[in-house]
Structure 1
Amino acid sequence: MGLFGRRNRGKGIPDDPGLLAAAAANPGGSVAEIDRTYVDDPNGYVPPEAIRGAWLVDGSGKLTGEYQENPRHGVPQDDFGKLTDPDHWLGWMGDDPAAAVRTGIEESLTAQVADAVVEWVKILETPRFLTAGRRSEDGQTLLVTRAAIAAPFALSVRATQHGRSVLLGVFSWAAVNLAPPEPRRDRHWFDLNVGLDWAEERLKERIYALDTGAGGPAGR
C-alpha cells in the first residue's frame, strides 16, 4: 500500500500475532492499521479515511518500529470526484450531478430496506457514459435525446435490522426523451458485486428498452 504522513518511532514494535503475521507476508512493504470505528470487515473495502496509519516492514518481513500516520484519518466522506472530474456533459442530471446520483442510490436502498441510511458513497472509477441525439429541424444543433451512466461505487449503509454494511457495485441511470415533445423517462439500476464492463453492456440494452417501458429488473 502507499505510505503517507509523518513517521513516528515512538510507538515501539507491537506484540500482536496478527500484525506480525501480516508483516511476514509483506516483506519490504507495510501493514495498515484499520480504525474499526468505521469499518467492520478489514478484509473488505476500506475507505482511505478509516486507515489510522501504516507500520513499515523490512525486507525480511519484520516490523521496523516505524509508523506513518494517515493525515486523512477520520470520518469517511463522500467522494464523487471521478464522476464530476471527467470532461463529459452531465447537464441531463441536473445542476448537481453528485447529489442526484447520491439521491438515486439512497432511493434504491430505501426501496429495499425502508430505514436504510447511507453514511458515505465513493465513486471508485471513471463512470461509463452513453449519449445519443438527433439534429434539430434546421440542422444547426444536435439535440441530446437520451443519456445514461454506469458508476462503480463503494458505500456504507446502516439499517436497524442489519447494522452497517459496506457494499460494492455499479449504479446505473438512463434517461430518454430528453428533447421535446415526448415526456422524459428515467430509470435507475443498483447492481451489487458486478464489474463496470458488465454494467456498461447492460446499459446499452437498458437505455433503448426504456422506449418500450421495459429495461429489466432495477438491480440484482
Structure 2
Amino acid sequence: MNSAPVAWPRSLRTPPDDPDLLAGAAANPGGSLAVIDGDLVGGDPNGYVPVEAVHGCWIIGPDGQLTGEYAENPEHGTPTDDFARLTELDHFWTWLPEEPTVAFRTAIAELLTEQVPGAVLEWLKVTDEPKVVSAGRQIPGDDEKLVLVRTGVALPFGLSVRSPDGLRDILWGVFTWAASGLDDPGNRKDRVWFDLQTDIAVGGELLSQRVYEVEAG
C-alpha cells in the first residue's frame, strides 16, 4: 500500500479537507495518507521521516477518496537509534577504534559539532544496507590469508540534530569512512565524508574511489 505524507492535522476525528490533501488521495487510490507528527521532525524533514514520527494513516479507497478510516501507527513515539543494518553485516571491524555502532555514531556526532558548535545528535538510523570495500595483500607462503591494507564503509543514514538555539533538522545521506595503511599502523590514514541527500547507489560508487584517495592524500 502506497503512503503519501501529510502534515499533522488539527483533528484526527475527521479526515483532512485541505484541497491539496484530497488531491493527494486522488493520486493514490487504494493507498493511504501518512500523518506526520511535526513535533518529532520539525517543520521540514528534508525527505526523511522515521517510522516513529508517523502517527498513523488515513485510508484511501479504490476511488481515490478518503474512506474516513484512520489506522494508528503502534510504533509512534520518540525516534531512537537503529543500527540493525550495520550490525547485520559480516565484516571485519577491528580496524575501527570502537565497536561499530559507537564508532560511527561518535564520528558523525563530531562532524555535526564541527559544522555547528554545540549541536546535539538526537538519533541516528542506518536506512539501508551499507556498502563495504576492502583490499589486502597476500602473506608470503600462505595462499589462504590476506593482510588488510585498506577498507571503507559507506553508511546510508537518517538523523536528527538539534542546534544550540533549539532548532531541529532532519538530515539524510551517506556517511563514508575510509582507512588505508592498516598493515602499517605508523602510516595509517583515515578520512571521512558526509554527503547529504545522496543515496547508497551513489555513495557506493564514491566509496570505491575514496578508499584509494585516502592513501593518495
Task: Indicate conservation of the 8 Å contact 1:56/1:67, yes or no.
Answer: yes
| 2:40 alignment partner, SS class | coil
2:74 matches 1:62:
no
Q: Which residue of 2 aligns with 1:31?
A: 33
Query: What secondary structure sits across from 2:95 in the alignment?
Result: helix
Per the alignment, residue 215 of structure 2 pairs with 211
* Counterpart code for 1:198: V
Per-residue deviation at 1:101?
A: 0.8
Would the aligned equivalents of 1:133 and 1:146 in 2 still touch at CA under 8 Å? Answer: yes
Once structures 1 and 2 are overlaid, which stretch shifts more, 23-32 or 168-177? 23-32
After superposition, give the CA deviation of every residue in 1:27-75 in whole Å (9 maximum; x if it has no partner).
2111111111112226731110001111111112222222211111000
Which AA in structure 1 matches 2:182? L
Shift of 1:19: 4.2
Map of 1:16 onto structure 2: 17
Overall identity of the aligned pairs, in %: 48
1:1-220 to 2 correspondences below 5 Å: 1=1, 12-17=13-18, 19-39=21-41, 40-41=43-44, 44-139=47-142, 141-161=145-165, 163-180=167-184, 182-212=186-216, 214=217
RMSD: 2.3
TM-score under structure 1 normalisation?
Answer: 0.83
For 1:44, what is the secondary structure of its paired residue? coil
How far apart are residue 174 of structure 1 and its match? 0.6
Q: CA deviation at 1:94?
A: 4.5
Structure 2 residues not aligned, in runs of 5+: 4-11
Structure-1 residue corresponding to 2:9: none
Secondary structure of 2:173's partner?
strand
Structure 1, unpaired ranges of 5+: 4-10, 215-220
SS of the residue corresponding to residue 191 of structure 1 reads strand
Greater mean deviation of Cα atoms: 56-65 or 202-211: 202-211
The CA deviation at 1:24 is 2.7
Distance verdict in 2 for CA 1:165–1:15, change over 3 Å: closer
